[in-house]
Amino acid sequence: MSLDLAIPVLDVSPLLSGAGSVGCLADQISKACRDCGFFYVVGHQVDQKLIRRLEQVSRQFFALGLENKLAIHMERGGPAWRGYFPVGAELTRGQPDQKEGLYFGAELDEDDPRVRAGVPLHGRNLFPEMAGFRQTVLDYLTAMTRLGHALMEGIALSLGLAATYFADRYTRDPLILFRIFHYPPLPSQVAGPVWSVGEHTDYGILTILLQDTTGGLQVKSRRGWIEAPPLPGSFVCNIGDMLDRMTGGIYRSTPHRVLNESTGGRLSFPFFFDPNFDAEVMPIDTEALVADDMLQRWDRASVHEFQGTYGEYLLSKVSQVFPELGRRKL
């Protein structure tokens, strides 16, 4: 394993403030998405005080006893797919992850047409009864949605498209999914390798990840597995399978995994900025298609063969991650 900061660090402030060269940044995004599918972002204008509050309330929640955490178990979230799950309840490649977590999404009231129609993954969040928790999460969702829109403008420009390409077709009203994960220390005496989260790629267009200072994220590069350590004031971004599909493999989703080797808990905060649930994901007319890499992928599956809406695609994946919930609720 090598510590490799060849994962580029990009200052995205021109996308948010209009100052500086967006053209230069678009070139940097293009290179990052073609070379490794991962990049750090700084200059993102997300309030550091908000980030510290988020980390604080998250640590307070995970310090609760299991009975208190189960008060907002995902079973109570129904088709909205929100709430808490304990260690081992989420699967990657059919194996239990060594993490617990909270699932959130856009906060929708009961009068929203999608909620009234029972559209999966839409509804109210389940929040613990802790001072400041709900508002902190909602403020963070607002900040990250703004950043997601800006980054997608940069990705559009990096492909030689109009800045509003993705917003016009897929993300004007994005499907946003937010997770707060806690990785406890791994068992000290277990036969064979045990991963906090095994090798996988993300489903959607763009993931924006906040890490604590513990480390443990690993990315599969052309030279093998490398560390993606936490950098102060940054987020880690990676592209997902749907952007891989849209670009015909020009921008390729990259496998990654997590190994918490510390003696303490690790927190991570992935924010998924995805197409609208009803959007039909279509290829972008750019360059010639790159050869399908299904035989080299971690799951031996082709993301390019799928046809239909993003919601249909996502629900097919959810049933693999939470099979019991998928059978009973979605």
Residue 156 φ/ψ, nearest 5 degrees: -60, -50
3-state secondary structure 96-158: ECCCEEEEEECECCCCCHHHHCCCCCCECCCCCCCCCHHHHHHHHHHHHHHHHHHHHHHHHHH
What's the pLDDT band for 66 if we cut at 50, 70, 90? very high
Angle between helices 48-62 and 133-158 (to 10 degrees): 130
- Ranges 11-25, 36-50, 68-82, 315-329: which has the least confidence: 315-329
Distances (CA, A) of 113 to 35, 82, 279: 42, 18, 17
Cα gap 77→75, rounded to integer Å: 5
- Please report the pLDDT score of residue 96 as a whole number: 84
Q: pLDDT of 240-265, one tens digit each? A: 999 998 998 899 899 999 999 888 89
Under 8 Å between Cβ of 150 and 43: no
Under 8 Å between Cβ of 137 and 102: no
Residue 325 has pLDDT above 50, yes or no: yes
What's the predicted TM-score (pTM) here? 0.91
Enumerate the β-bridge partners of residue 271. Answer: 178, 208
- Nearest C-alpha neighbor of 77 from the set 35, 113, 121: 121
- Nearest C-alpha neighbor of 265 from the set 195, 200, 199, 216: 216
Cα gap 147→44, rounded to integer Å: 7
Mean pLDDT of 230-245: 95
Under 8 Å between Cβ of 73 and 89: no
Question: How many Cβ atoms sit within 10 Å of the Cβ of residue 255?
Answer: 20
Domains along the sequence of the chain with CATH: 2-328 (2.60.120.330)
3-state secondary structure 143-175: HHHHHHHHHHHHHHHHCCCCCCHHHHHHHCCCE
